[in-house]
Amino acid sequence: MTSLQEVRVAGPGDGPYALAVGPDGALWFTVVHAGRIGRLVPGEGEAGSHQLDPGCGPTVIAPGPKGDGALWFTEYRAHRIGRITVAGEVAEFALPTAECGPFGIAAGPDGALWFTETAADRIGRITVDGKVTEYPLDAAGAFPSAIAAGPDGAMWFALNQGNAIGRIAMDGTVTTHPLPTEGAAPVGIAPGPDGALWFTEIGAGQIGRITVDGAITEFPLPDRAARPHAVTAGPAGGAMWFTEWGANRVGSITADGTVEVHDLPTPASEPHGIVLGPDGALWTALEIGALARVTP
């Protein structure tokens, strides 16, 4: 029996958005509207937080490459990339392209961080010492969103307005794979235990799967208006888990497409990011100011 419980970590208008597990074994999360990075050790009291520029809009957060000892995050409104150590020391790096709207970020196999620039149609790369390289995409207005490291040594990303999944090799070569469903508007993407990438189709109410050679399968959700947003791998060998932003639920999907969904305790809580926590549970960020713990 799946159980769900909420942990209050911010005010109702502060907007917890995305989560990651840090090298210290804690949950780290962005608080987008309040301009903070939060930290919670599951089962050990209240969350702490680190104040940034209140208007910077910290959005997606991810652990740095092996040995870095920090977490990296995008500042969507300030057009910067941030780094925070487990001791709370913050560094911020301005990006070469003005008003580029960085959103997704993930560590790559090359020891750097790769990120998307939603408003500039570019994929960015930043080294741990702050050197930035940008790679333009061919399509205008494609709105690259989430990004993840694939099992093939490349980075994979969702083109929300381009209605495609993209792949960028370490040398900057980009390949795109159009989606079968028109208006699917993919957002979240994550590697699965099956060697494929899984993604959410917020516009079509589907979960998608793409192999590293570009074969795409789409799985309709029971509620096509659910607005699936983020996706992550669950416990080892298990299902993928996702948030239904528009339906106030979290769900799971197995490799054969079997879907289960679970209502969140508080109505209209607006779940966004989701991650497998250090305690073996799934955690999702709720825009109402809480994190929800989901025990499969």
The catalytic residue positions are: 272
CB 167 within 8 A of CB 174: yes
Distances (CA, A) of 107 to 104, 113, 180, 188: 11, 4, 29, 16
Task: Say how many C-beta atoms besides its own lie within 10 A of residue 32's C-beta.
Answer: 24
- How many residues appear in the chain? 296
Burial environment of residue 42 by CB neighbours within 10 A (0 to 12, 13 to 18, 19 or more): middle
Q: Which amino acid is at 133?
A: T
Q: Is residue 270 annotated as involved in ligand binding?
A: yes
92 annotated as ligand-binding: no
The annotation status of 79 as a binding-site residue, yes or no, is: no
Which residue type sits at 241? W
Q: What angle do CA 110, 116, 122 make, to 5 degrees?
A: 100
State the greatest distance between any 2 C-alpha atoms of the chain, in Å, as a whole number.
49
| Known binding-site residue numbers for Mg(2+) | 270, 287
| Known binding-site residue numbers for substrate | 229
| Known binding-site residue numbers | 229, 270, 287
